[in-house]
Structure 1
Amino acid sequence: MEKLSYEQCLEELFALGRFGIKLELDTVAGILERLGSPEKTFNAVHIAGTNGKGSIASTVASILQTAGVTTGLYTSPHLIKFNERFIINGVQVSDDEIVDAYMAVKAVDTGERKATYFELTTTMAFYLFAQKKVQWAVIETGMGGRLDATNILNPALCLITNLSIEHTDYLGNTLEEIAAEKAGIIKQEVPVITGVSQPRALAVIKDTAQKKDAPLYTMGESFSTKAIIHSPSAPFDYQGIGLTLKDLETPLPGAHQIQNAALALAACELLSKSGPTNPRPPVITPETIRKGLLATRWPGRLEYILNEPHVILDGAHNLHSAENLGRFLREEGKPSHLTLVLGILDDKPYEKMLQFLVPTADRIIFTRPKINRNLDPAVLQRASKEFTRVETTIIDDVGEAAVHAIETAPSTGTVCIAGSLYVVGEARSCILKKYIK
């Protein structure tokens, strides 16, 4: 097989998007078997849920790396460059390593059905982690859990963040149905941590854990946090499963990030203990936790990227995250003269998302990312009139919208770019090129 260039690999991979989503595990299992089962060469933490997966995954990976463990991190989607999905010890894999992984996976994609984009990227991640001798990998599901391509793993620990209605065509129309899909990552006797709070959804997770003899640790019952001062990035206390830590800090802004940190810390507590699924635990100390927590980075999620004016990037790509961003802008960040640059995909509950976001703004620019699932900005503009009377304009190109917002905002004002990770990715790329040398 002729070796492809990095650009050719990405062109082939991205072209697979048109084949959509296939929720089954046989294709991934076949590829991995023909690769020599790379997923069995490292220990894994498997994370599912609606929101917070990436923040929690990056925090756990940061703490493991601080503990001296060779750590892999697999997340999706990427913001700017494809390589962002594959992080080893805090560094993206190289273009050449992407090519090698793609060529290796493509050569054994010989099953009855060709692999989808996400199935290939997942098998590439496991191949890369095996090649780089990763000891622990933190793996985020793509969608759902039970039939997600990542669920081929036999992890040392499972984590389910929180739940809201999403991807109903694939996961179900009720929280109970969605909880059943997410709970599909729970394995026999493997500990599971959850931040799910809705009683009926939590009951599904508890029932699944009980049937699998999986020890279950729930937020608010097994562990909790307490903010010392109610302000952005304020210190907080952690009352854990067996560990109490005071005056902790996370660099990720937003009150919801304290809850995400609690889930990550509970995970690290369990990882530090020997058990049937974790015979050789990493050495994670309270000091390791403090340092790893402070070293966590997760771009594009309440990320302050510029000053004068302040520019905030936040994916806010579904109803729950839009609610979190709206709360942050109203109660925590409290920006002066806020310009909101907003683009949303056509499969999202945009009217309800607008309800949380547009009342916070003094000016709104509607835009659309280049992905074909973008929603017409004119639709957003019309729908926004129910919730605000401020000036609204349309600039189709995300980069142009971001630059216009920054150049016309007062130096003491704030620009928030949100509504989709694709919007944030395009805006971030433009801002880095134009304003950050």
Structure 2
Amino acid sequence: MAASQRLAEIFGRRRFAIRPGTERISGLLARLDHPERAFSSIHVVGTNGKGSTASFLAAMLTAAGCRTGLFTSPHLISYHERFQIDGALIAQDALERMLDRVLAVAAPEDTFFELTTALACCWFAENGVTVAVLEAGMGGRSDATAAVPALCTLITPVSRDHSQWLGETTAAIAAEKAAIAEAGTPLLSARQEPAVLAVLAEQCALRGQELLLCGRNFDVARRGDGSLCYRDADIRLEGLVPGLVGNYQSGNAALAIAGARSVARQLGLPLTGEQIRRGIAAARWPGRMELIRLDGGGRLLLDGAHNPAGAVALAEALREYQATRITLLLGLMEDKDIDGILGALGPLAQIIVTVEPRQERALSAQRLAEFCEQRGIPVLVGGTVPEGVAAARARTGVGDLLVAAGSLFVVGEVKAALAGQVCEAVRG
């Protein structure tokens, strides 16, 4: 079977949409002779900041000499992006071999994300990975990654998103996400609102888990020069310079450092301050506060910002940029909190160019423009993402900032359009 046919088959499993539960993935891993048992794992769950935290964590473990796998989702342009070992993406021949292996034993009902998770496990096992950092998909206890046992769980800030599957309150969402952690293993958390903290404390008490909190057991301070100071009960590190920009990355970096230190203790892995420093600086996460210089003197900033919390974080970051004019290229999925996102980002943009990503859940560019008009926000209907990019760039000159946000699907299509590549981005 040709590579394109293999990918078409696995992408075609999206027709099953989101189907929570670990029974299918557990059966699939069993038919693959349990590749997930060949390495240790770390779960990264939460609402915002999962990918950045996972990237920081993997980079530190690699800097410490640990052969480290990284599994993330979604990808921006190419399916290969989901699978990394020590910062290197899976090669085409390896991907084809893994696709053959997984599809050969896949059941008809296995979903896209389940097959993708199993593929990552097979590749990590085959390549002698010591520790794999696994970014959960949407959920926690019912996420496909939950079928992989982990040494510890990191939970990034929790906010309302995917409420139709996870719950209507942050407490309910936190309970679902944190339940991925196995009894007796440490749970490390970013700063959270009181309702979320109460859920985490209750769960850890019931399941015999150690709860380590940012602001209590470890913390971070941002210096005037943008560097970070991390501290916990045993160490203090000054002058950390994150490879990822944005004030909100401070908390992600702190959570990742605490997680790396927890895993190092469990595995007996030496992790020095210098290795932490190198890993924090080496972390890269495309499409998240990624700044690109445009021809003509303008700048393009890419960020997902697909929910109100993410939009608020982006808005805070935008205030640091010296821009004559901000044009916002915005595309959203129809199930998102449009009011919350527009409320955070709308006041900062001189004009919003609305676009419609090539996804079945995408809100039409025309409908999004109507939401903007109802709020008195100057708006232009951009159409498809490439059409919107062209329209927005025509309005971006020297000293201006073009911001593409609202969905990682938008970010992926923008990057593909600028590079002249075909975007393979899919949900899940």
TM-score greater than 0.5 by the shorter chain: yes
- Structure 2 regions of 5+ residues with no counterpart? 422-428
Aligned mate of 2:115, from 112, 120, 134:
120
Following TM superposition, by how much is the alpha carbon of 1:272 offset from its aligned partner in structure 2, in angstroms? Answer: 2.1
* Alignment-derived partner of residue 315 in structure 1: 304
* Deviation at residue 251 of structure 1 after TM alignment: 2.3
Q: Indicate conservation of the 8 Å contact 1:70/1:136, yes or no.
A: yes
Per-residue deviation, 1:336:
2.1
| Aligned 1:39-188 pairs, distance under 5 A | 39-110=36-107, 114-188=109-183
Moved more, 242-251 or 287-296: 242-251
Shift of 1:241: 3.9
Is it true that 1:333 corresponds to 2:306 in the alignment? no
Please tell me the residue identity of whatever aligns with 1:430.
Answer: A
Distance of 1:301 and 1:10 partners within structure 2: 26
Map of 1:219 onto structure 2 = 214
Q: Which amino acid aligns with 1:404?
A: A
**Gap regions ≥5 residues in structure 1:** none
1:281 to 243, 262, 268: 268
CA distance in 1, matches of 2:177, 2:248: 20
> Which residue is equivalent to 1:423?
410
Q: Does 1:209 align with 2:204?
A: yes
Q: Is the 8 A contact 1:241 1:266 kept in 2?
A: no
| TM-score normalised over the length of structure 2 | 0.95
Kindly provide the amino acid, as one letter, of the partner of residue 255 in structure 1.
N
Higher RCO (C-alpha under 8 Å, 6+ residues apart)? 2
Residue pair 1:190, 1:214 contacting (<8 A) in 2 also: yes
Quote how far apart the aligned CAs of 1:389 are: 4.4
> 1:242 corresponds to which residue?
234
Q: Residue 334 of structure 1: CA displacement?
A: 4.0
User: How many equivalent pairs are there?
Assistant: 419
Q: Distance in 2 between matches of 1:87 and 1:347?
A: 30
Q: How far did 1:177 drift?
A: 1.2
Deviation at 1:55, TM superposition (A): 0.1
Contact residue 150 and residue 181 of structure 2 kept, 8 A: no
For the aligned residue pairs, the C-alpha RMSD in angstroms reads 1.5
What's 1:9 paired with?
Answer: 6
Which of 264, 273, 290 aligns to 1:303? It is: 290
1:11-67 superposed Cα distances (whole Å, 9 cap, x missing partner): 111111111111111111111111111101111111110000000001100111111
CA–CA distance in 2 between the matches of 1:319 and 1:108? 40
- The corresponding residue for 2:426 is none
Give the Å deviation of 1:394: 1.0
Q: Is the 8 A contact 1:24 1:149 kept in 2?
A: yes
Q: Percent identity?
A: 36
CA distance in 1, matches of 2:344, 2:171: 25
The residue type paired with residue 43 of structure 2 is H
Give per-residue Cα distances to partners, 1:337-371, cap 9 Å, x unaligned.
Answer: 11111111101011221111121112221111011
Secondary structure, counterpart of 2:292 in structure 1:
strand
